[in-house]
């Protein structure tokens, strides 16, 4: 494939304050899938990731451990590096902001901005969030807490240097308006424009004096460079940028084609970073994509909440590629995704073991059984020998041609989805091909064709068609599940053909042999066994709700209740929730387990309504949820709220919803 030129992709550098959870790890896997796809398309890819290693939070954590900040970040960066490698990510450069060369470049950048009048000395008084390394005004706080993370803030007053953000605001607004692709998805662009840029930017604090773990301002050493100015510049400094003269690599790869970041730091990357670049006279990155969060069943992952899942433990249970598949496939383009042990087992069994693994194993095994492993294109179609299996209702025309059509259209569809960064949809297209192959087996029934010598040539062509289709799908799978892709092609004895060679059906060489020892790609797992092992590794707290039998109670009490005051009612927090996923609870005849999105959180809620609603019809419904109910355990699962329903005299239930369309999270008064 011809060289399409350079492509520079970066992740946000991970904050070196501890071990990254699966939500953090999702970003590097997503970036890797995009980078691998771009390489397959013929781009000269530079894929950069790394660690952000300065700031007050790290200084405090190091003090708690009784070690130096450098020792602390060395350990943390090593652990992050290990996880990135474990997940088979193909980054080209792993950067660290404690690198002396980076620190010197940042000092020169700070001095340049100061000398040209973009940075000035002043004093800051406001509210500071240590985990976010962010200052806030009184009006920006949400319920007296940090608007980004919801944690406590402290009053801070100190001398500081400030950057004149407003000087460049109009230029940035014009750039965003004339480059609609710059901020993606569009909802993130609207948020930045309406909430920050159009109301007017405040000058940004770019130095601190209350702690010392940072890059010193060389002309005023009691100040250290604010962590965001330090961290954001990594995208250029490690690519070869220098105030005194940049390298050929920088000239080749900058501006970056894609900054891939979490939606929680979109403001820093689409407002502060572009303005810093404008001030330095450098081009802006071509695109910033703020991906959604991967949430645990009970909301955003947080060590303090104790709901953290880690990539290495998930990989230990399910394998690296199964974890990669799940986080890539279950993350919508714009909305948050949900991960639980239960969902992982479900996807492993249904998509990976059944749809994919069983398909490959059946095809290789039948080829060995009927033709000693030789794949032969005989040219005998379903028009020559009528289909032997079950044809779906409404099926017309040639099933061979229909399969070929799907095989040829899939690479085109995948290319379109990846161009839009709709990675989950791209994977769905590939698995639609695998599902079509399974359907083709049912339609052609090779075991029936094998019964007579007169249909042997037709059987050979059927198996050839399957091998060809799986070879194409298996190669398309490489950016997302590289080890699985390699295993599939190895079992088929198929060479990579390249994306450009997927424009015709039949490139698998007739006469080749598949492996005589087909390998099970994914083993099915029992949810009970997985949860038993999870419980063994993570024992539940001593205090538990006293009722495994709670599900046997009537979940609504129709008796008259005593009068309450408006103050009593105000204690209830009732919000609109959107049901993202729902499944039956195996240990109960009454319970459904729903994953309910409420604002930016997703909660797991159990409801005794199984005789009135199926799990399938619950998905997508907007319901009213009591969200400040104390969590309780039902049938071994944690429930974090109550979905409201009405009950008539006959005991029939109806979910309560709103008259008009309301956003998930809207509060009921």
- Give the three-class secondary structure for 598: strand
What is the reported pLDDT for 636? Answer: 75
What is the rounded CA–CA span in Å between residue 260 and residue 614?
A: 38
Better pLDDT: 650 or 516 = 516
Inter-helix orientation angle 22-41/423-444, to 10°: 70
Tokens of 14: 């991970």
* More reliable by pLDDT, 632 or 205: 205
Q: Could you tell me which residue, 444 or 573, shows the higher pLDDT?
A: 444
Give the tokens for residue 472: 């194409």
Q: What pLDDT score does 648 carry?
A: 61
Q: Could you tell me how far CA 348 lies from the centroid of its own chain? A: 17
**668 strand-pairing partners:** 574
Confidence of residue 314 (pLDDT cuts 50, 70, 90): very high
Mean pLDDT of the 560-582 span: 74
Other CB atoms within 10 Å distance of the CB of residue 589: 12
pLDDT at residue 390 in the model: 82
Q: How much is the pLDDT for 357?
A: 98
Q: Are 224 and 54 in contact (CB under 8 A)?
A: yes
Average pLDDT on 282-301 reads 84
What is the end-to-end Cα distance of the chain in Å, rounded? 61
Give the Cα separation of 300 and 572 in Å (integer).
22
Query: With contact defined as beta carbons under 8 Å apart, do 288 and 261 qualify?
Result: yes
Task: Give strand pairing partners of 204.
Answer: 163
Residue 132 pLDDT > 90, yes or no? no
Encode pLDDT of 356-366 as tens digits: 999 999 999 99
Per-residue pLDDT at 302:
53
Task: Find the helix or strand (DSSP H, E) in which 160 lies.
Answer: strand 154-163
Report helix, strand or coil for 95: strand
Q: How confident is the model at residue 657 (pLDDT cuts 50, 70, 90)?
A: confident
Residue 594 has pLDDT above 60, yes or no: yes
Q: Once rounded to an integer, what is the mean pLDDT over residues 171-182? A: 97
Closest CA to 501 of 387, 411, 612: 411
**H or E stretch covering 418:** helix 399-419
**Least confident interval from 2-6, 321-325, 347-351, 367-371:** 2-6
pLDDT of residue 584: 86
Position 628 scores a pLDDT of 85
pLDDT-based confidence at residue 566 (cuts at 50, 70, 90): low
Q: Which run of H or of E encompasses 44? A: strand 44-52
Tell me what pLDDT residue 300 has. Answer: 55
- Six-digit token string for 361: 């194993």
**C-alpha to C-alpha distances, 491 to 445, 451, 467, 470, nearest whole angstrom:** 22, 26, 10, 11
Across the range 278-284, mean pLDDT stands at: 98
The residue that leads in pLDDT, 28 or 545, is 28
Using the CB atoms, write b or e for 635-653: b if 16+ within 10 Å.
bebbbbbbbbbeeeeeeeb
pLDDT for position 535: 92
Percent above pLDDT 70 for the chain: 92
Query: In this predicted structure, what is the pLDDT of residue 176?
Result: 97
User: Checking DSSP bridges between strand 592-598 and strand 601-607, what pairing results, if any?
Assistant: antiparallel
pLDDT tens per residue across span 386-395: 888 887 666 6
Query: Torsions phi, psi of 574, nearest 5?
Result: -115, 125
Query: Which pLDDT score is estimated for 559?
Result: 42
Q: Rounded CA gap, 177 and 166, in Å?
A: 17
Pull the structure tokens for residue 470. Answer: 């799986």
**Distance in angstroms (rounded) separating the CA atoms of residues 440 and 461:** 12
33-83 tens-digit pLDDT: 999 999 999 999 999 999 999 999 999 999 999 999 999 999 999 999 999
- Rounded to an integer, the average pLDDT of 593-600 is 84
Residue 173 has pLDDT above 60, yes or no: yes
pLDDT of residue 550 exceeding 50, the answer is no
Q: Which whole number is the average pLDDT over 155-175? A: 94
Give the Cα separation of 123 and 576 in Å (integer).
43
The three-state secondary structure class of 596 is strand
Which among 110, 282, 277, 17 has a CA at the least distance from the CA of 269? 277
Q: Tell me the whole-structure pTM to 2 decimals.
A: 0.79
Looking at residue 655, what is its pLDDT? Answer: 86
**pLDDT (0 to 100) of residue 542:** 54
- Range 548-668 classified under CATH 2.40.50.140: yes
3-state helix, strand, coil in the chain (%, to 5): 45, 20, 40
**pLDDT for 515:** 97
Q: Which CATH superfamily is domain 340-501 in?
A: Isoleucyl-tRNA Synthetase; Domain 1 (1.10.730.10)
Q: What would the pLDDT profile of 230-244 be if each residue is shown by its tens digit?
A: 999 999 999 999 999
Mean pLDDT of 375-393: 89
614 CB-near residues (< 8 Å, 6+ apart): none
pLDDT at 567: 62
- Region 612-618: mean pLDDT is 79
pLDDT at position 563: 63
pLDDT at 304: 45
Q: Contact, 568 vs 585, CB < 8 A?
A: no
Higher pLDDT, 444 or 394: 444
Query: Which regions of the chain carry the CATH code 2.40.50.140?
Result: 548-668
Strand 183-184 with 288-291, pairing: parallel
Contact assessment for residue 228 and residue 275, using Cβ atoms and an 8 Å cutoff: no
Please compute the mean of the pLDDT values over residues 391-416 and round it to a whole number: 90
Q: What is the distance, to the nearest Å, from the Cα of residue 303 to the centroid of all Cα atoms in its chain?
A: 19
Instruction: Say what the alpha-carbon torsion angle 391, 394, 399, 404 is, to the nearest 10 degrees.
Output: -130
pLDDT at 619: 79
Beta strand ranges found along 194-262 (DSSP E):
204-205, 207-208, 224-225, 258-262
CA distances from 287 to 181, 185, 570 (A): 6, 10, 45
Q: Please tell me which residue, 667 or 425, carries the higher pLDDT value.
A: 425
User: What is the percent of the chain where pLDDT is above 90?
Assistant: 69
Where do the CATH 1.10.730.10 domains begin and end in the chain? Answer: 340-501
Name, in order, each residue with C-beta under 8 angstroms of 393's C-beta and a sequence gap of 6 or more: none
HSE (side-chain half, CA atoms, 13 Å) at 480 = 27
- Tell me, what DSSP letter sits at residue 193? I
Residue of 40, 38, 43, 31 lying closest to 4 (CA atoms): 43
Q: Which residues contact 490 (CB under 8 A, 6 or more apart)?
A: 515
Mean pLDDT of the region 269-274: 97
Give 483-527 pLDDT, tens digit per residue.
999 999 999 999 999 999 999 999 999 999 999 999 999 999 999
Q: What residues contact 476, with CB distance under 8 A and at least 6 apart?
A: 410, 411, 414, 430, 433, 502
Higher pLDDT pick, 295 / 221: 221
pLDDT of residue 639: 87
């Amino acid at each position: 494939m011809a060289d399409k030129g350079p492509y520079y992709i970066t992740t946000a550098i991970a904050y070196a304050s501890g071990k990254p959870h699966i939500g953090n790890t999702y970003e590097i896997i997503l970036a890797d899938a995009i980078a691998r796809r771009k390489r397959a398309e013929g781009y000269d890819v530079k894929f950069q990731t790394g660690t952000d290693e300065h700031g007050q939070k790290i200084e405090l954590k190091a003090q708690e451990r009784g070690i130096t900040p450098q020792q602390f970040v060395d350990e943390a960066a090593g652990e992050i590096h290990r996880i990135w490698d474990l997940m088979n990510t193909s980054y080209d450069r792993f950067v660290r902001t404690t690198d002396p060369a980076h620190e010197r470049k940042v000092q020169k950048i700070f001095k340049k901005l100061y000398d040209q009048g973009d940075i000035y000395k002043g004093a800051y008084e406001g509210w500071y969030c240590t985990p976010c390394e962010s200052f806030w005004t009184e009006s920006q706080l949400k319920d007296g807490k940090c608007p980004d993370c919801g944690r406590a803030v402290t009053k801070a007053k100190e001398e500081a240097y400030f950057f004149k953000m407003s000087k460049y605001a109009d230029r940035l607004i014009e750039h965003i308006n004339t480059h609609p692709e710059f901020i993606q998805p569009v909802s993130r662009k609207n948020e930045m424009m309406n909430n920050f840029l159009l109301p007017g930017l405040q000058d940004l604090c770019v130095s601190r004096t209350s702690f010392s773990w940072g890059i010193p301002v060389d002309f005023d050493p009691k100040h250290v460079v604010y962590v965001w100015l330090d961290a954001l510049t990594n995208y250029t400094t490690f690519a070869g940028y220098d105030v005194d003269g940049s390298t050929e690599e920088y000239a080749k790869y900058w501006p970056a084609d894609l900054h891939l970041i979490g939606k929680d730091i979109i403001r820093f990357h689409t407002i502060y970073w572009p303005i810093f670049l404008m001030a330095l006279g450098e081009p802006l990155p071509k695109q910033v994509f703020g991906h959604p969060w991967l949430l645990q069943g009970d909301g955003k992952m947080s060590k303090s909440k104790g709901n953290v899942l880690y990539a290495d433990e998930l990989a230990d249970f399910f394998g690296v590629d199964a974890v990669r598949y799940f986080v890539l496939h279950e993350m919508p383009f714009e909305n948050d995704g949900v991960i639980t042990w239960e969902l992982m087992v479900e996807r492993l069994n249904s998509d990976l073991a059944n749809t994919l693994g069983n398909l490959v194993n059946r095809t290789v095994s039948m080829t060995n059984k009927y033709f000693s492993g030789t794949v032969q294109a005989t040219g005998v179609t379903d028009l020559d020998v009528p289909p032997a299996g079950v044809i779906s209702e409404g099926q017309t025309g040639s099933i061979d041609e229909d399969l070929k059509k799907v095989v040829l259209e899939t690479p085109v569809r995948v290319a379109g989805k990846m161009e839009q960064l709709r990675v989950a949809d791209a994977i769905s297209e590939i698995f639609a091909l695998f599902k079509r192959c399974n359907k083709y087996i049912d339609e052609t029934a090779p075991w029936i064709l094998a019964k007579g010598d007169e249909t042997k040539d037709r059987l050979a062509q059927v198996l050839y068609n399957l091998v060809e289709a799986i070879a194409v799908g298996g190669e398309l799978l490489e950016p997302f599940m590289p080890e699985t892709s390699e295993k599939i092609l190895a079992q088929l004895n198929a060479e990579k053909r390249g994306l450009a060679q997927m424009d015709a059906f039949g490139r698998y060489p007739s006469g080749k042999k598949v492996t005589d020892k087909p390998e099970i790609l994914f083993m099915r797992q029992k949810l009970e066994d997985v949860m038993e092992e999870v419980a063994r590794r993570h024992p539940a707290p001593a205090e538990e709700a006293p009722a495994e039998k709670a599900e046997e109670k009537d979940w609504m009490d129709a008796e008259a209740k005593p009068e309450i005051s408006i103050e009593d009612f105000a204690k209830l927090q009732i919000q609109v929730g959107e049901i993202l996923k729902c499944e039956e609870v195996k240990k109960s005849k009454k319970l459904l387990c729903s994953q309910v999105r409420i604002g930016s959180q997703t909660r797991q809620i159990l409801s005794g309504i199984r005789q009135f609603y199926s799990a399938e019809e619950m998905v997508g419904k907007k319901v009213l949820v009591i969200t400040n109910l104390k969590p309780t355990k039902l049938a071994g699962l944690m429930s974090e709220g109550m979905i409201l329903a009405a009950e008539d005299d006959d005991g029939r239930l109806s979910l309560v919803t709103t008259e008009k369309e309301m956003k998930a999270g809207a509060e009921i008064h």
